[in-house]
Amino acid sequence: MEVLGDSNNNMKAWLTQAPKLTTFRVNKLKKIEVDVLKNFLISQRNVLDTTELPDFYFLRPDCLILGPWPEVSLKKAGKEVIVDALCAAAVLRGAHVFAPGVMGLPVNSQLGERVDIYGDLEGHCKRGLKVEYTGRKLYVGTGYLKMLRADLFDNGVQPSGIAVHTILPASKLPVVNETIYSKGEVLLQNLPSIVCGWVLDAKPNECILDMCAAPGNKTTHLAEMSNDQATIIALDKTPQKAAKIKESCEIQGVTCVTAYAFDSTKCCSEESKGINSGPPFPPNSFDKVLLDAPCSGLGQRPQLVNKMTPKMIGSYKFVQRKLFAEAVKVLKVGGKLVYSTCTITEEENEGMVAWALEKFPCLKLIPAEPILGGTGLANKGLNDAQRLMVQRFGPEDNELRKVDPIYKDSIGFFIAAFSKS
């Protein structure tokens, strides 16, 4: 898949690897105790037979970084559980194996025994496999079996719950999730996604639109940044997605967000009676707009299998342009628009910025501060001054800006900011 020209092979290799760090967004509206994480890691240290702990520290008060286990290795157990590629990728990021992801399990398995977790890289493993899988597979971790074949395959209903309690992924990332804290205190969130909230920089009393908000992670971050004192409207296309946003707000103690099921490609109307009446909204309504656009998602890591075709990838720019046009309409003069994607393609990133600047003379590209990622790619529609204003998260070395290694080892991501005159 030729998405980055000559650097494509290096990018592909990077995308197949799991990031070496886990990032938590910390809820500013609640106070967390770091000792909770430390004590949890100490308990896991005993399981892994090591005396050391992973590094963990606050990058900012709302961003907690957790490193891999140092000098830890476990011998393989010799009994294989086969999981699908998505489940395998999650395990490499420090997740347990949930029942729907299990494809194969030996018939003589016992509850509580240690098993090796392998990802099916070809998608050929038939659900319910009883013997060793001979297709292309990848070792992704080890853990303790929590469900038997009868639970997973033989009861005629979709299984749920943890099937394998992961103790050590092949990436050596700690198996930690939000449940070690009280509900809503911390959230697993990729670092560039957190940076995106910092760039929008929500303030009390501002009127903010999040155009493609589900599941609500960035929405709640903006609310928490404003100390729950902004007026935030969150849109997504279906009632299910709007319900997910509302659920995220409730869990995290956010009250300043109103969520609607609405198509943001139609969110502006001259006939609107005002923001309080719900979408669509009048022109020039919002101080700030976040357009975290639907995209090809090619920045996700680790990406063990990708079935996107060039035609599918090329289709995203059309909806992104429709959304962009509406964002410009509803943004106030002097307002700030932040555009972001979790993909690596030029057309959806630098190409979209170049198109927007040509299409909308009222838009001015401004530095997407705090600038922590690399510059935009060269010769992709932006001059050097413009490349320095956007930020692209990826493995590339950059001649225009030095990037801290922590921002080169998360996911592929892109952020640009504009003001309206």
Q: Mark out the alpha helices in 54-148 (DSSP H runs).
A: 85-92
- Does residue 398 surpass a pLDDT of 90? no
Percent of the chain whose predicted confidence (pLDDT) is above 70:
98
The reply to whether 228 sits in an annotated binding site is no
Close Cβ partners of 49 (under 8 Å, ≥ 6 residues apart): none
The reply to whether 84 sits in an annotated binding site is no
The residue-averaged pLDDT of 342-359 equals 97
Q: Mark out the alpha helices in 17-61 (DSSP H runs).
A: 34-48
Model confidence at 206, in pLDDT bands (50, 70, 90)?
A: very high
- Does residue 245 surpass a pLDDT of 80? yes
Domains 80-169 and 191-420 share a fold: no
State the chain's mean pLDDT as an integer: 94
The reply to whether 6 sits in an annotated binding site is no
- Which pTM value belongs to this model? 0.94
Domain map of the chain by residue range? 80-169, 191-420
Which token pair is 173?
């990332």
The reply to whether 383 sits in an annotated binding site is no
pLDDT value, residue 288? 98
- Does residue 7 surpass a pLDDT of 60? no
- 342 carries an active-site annotation: yes
The reply to whether 216 sits in an annotated binding site is yes
CATH number of 80-169: 2.30.130.10
pLDDT value, residue 350? 98
The reply to whether 385 sits in an annotated binding site is no
Percent of the chain whose predicted confidence (pLDDT) is above 90:
89
Provide long-range contacts, Cβ within 8 A and 24+ apart, for 157-160. Answer: 158/100, 159/99, 159/100, 159/102, 160/98, 160/99, 160/100
pLDDT value, residue 1? 39
As a whole number of angstroms, the longest Cα–Cα distance in the chain is 69
Does domain 191-420 sit in CATH 2.30.40.10?
Answer: no
pLDDT value, residue 10? 85
The reply to whether 236 sits in an annotated binding site is yes
pLDDT tens digits, 257-295: 999 999 999 999 999 989 999 999 999 999 999 999 999
pLDDT tens digits, 26-74: 999 998 999 999 999 999 988 898 999 999 999 999 999 999 999 898 8
Catalytic residue among 196, 207, 342, 362: 342
The reply to whether 90 sits in an annotated binding site is no
Which token pair is 44?
């896991």
Which token pair is 366?
């401004």
pLDDT tens digits, 62-99: 999 999 999 898 899 999 999 999 999 999 999 999 99
